[in-house]
Amino acid sequence: MSLTSEERNSLESWARDRSTPHHRLVLRAKIVLRAADGAQNKQIAEELGIQANTCALWRHRFHHLRLSGLEQDAPRAGGPLQIPDSTIRSIVHDTLHPKPYNATHWSTRTMAAKYGLSPNTIHQIRRARRLQPHRVEQYKLSNDKHFEEKLRDVVA
């Protein structure tokens, strides 16, 4: 692997800089520098305490993308779940208005089952909107025949 003088200077700077915000960049720079000096993946891995396939990965990335390939991680699988706004509005509406049969409020699990989402997703939607259906206070009237008289005594 060959390096230009500018690349070698940048890599050496990254490798010795203790204030580099990403320790991974330091490791990547060391891998490429050792590879440029002729070391094999297995030898580099033993010296740096990493796996040989990690060395191969970063050598390959540097070969194709040069310094910019070391500065950023490759895109990872998966991404933020895209829930339609209409579904979110329905979840918020159901949380605030109609209660399910045989329950005082929609739990995260029952709501998740209704919408086909995970309970954690329902929780995140509610938390983002500061909804706490389990904390709704309700007032129950007494069945006591003398309730009104007692109420007047207490309130008046």
What are the tens digits of pLDDT across the range 118-136? Answer: 999 999 998 988 888 777 6
What are the tens digits of pLDDT across the range 6-27? Answer: 999 999 999 988 775 678 899 9
> CA 119, CA 110: separation in Å to the nearest integer?
8
> CA 130, CA 149: separation in Å to the nearest integer?
39
**Residue 56 pLDDT > 80:** yes
In 37-84, where does DSSP find H-type helix? 41-48, 52-65, 67-71
pTM assigned to the model: 0.50
Residue 63 host element (H or E): helix 52-65
> CA 41, CA 57: separation in Å to the nearest integer?
10
Tell me which residue of 115, 113, 66, 60 sits closest to 87, measured CA to CA.
Answer: 115
Q: Which of 58-67, 116-125, 135-144 has the lowest mean pLDDT?
A: 135-144
The reported pLDDT for the residue numbered 112 is 94
Report the pLDDT averaged over residues 53-73. Answer: 92
Sequence spans of domains, the chain = 5-71, 85-135
* Paired tokens of 73: 């991680």
The reported pLDDT for the residue numbered 136 is 63
The reported pLDDT for the residue numbered 138 is 58
> CA 80, CA 83: separation in Å to the nearest integer?
9
- Gap between the terminal Cα atoms of the chain: 90
What are the tens digits of pLDDT across the range 65-103? Answer: 999 999 888 777 777 768 898 999 899 888 888 777 788
Sign, CA torsion 90/92/94/98:
negative
Sign, CA torsion 60/63/65/68:
positive
DSSP 8-state assignment for residue 100: P
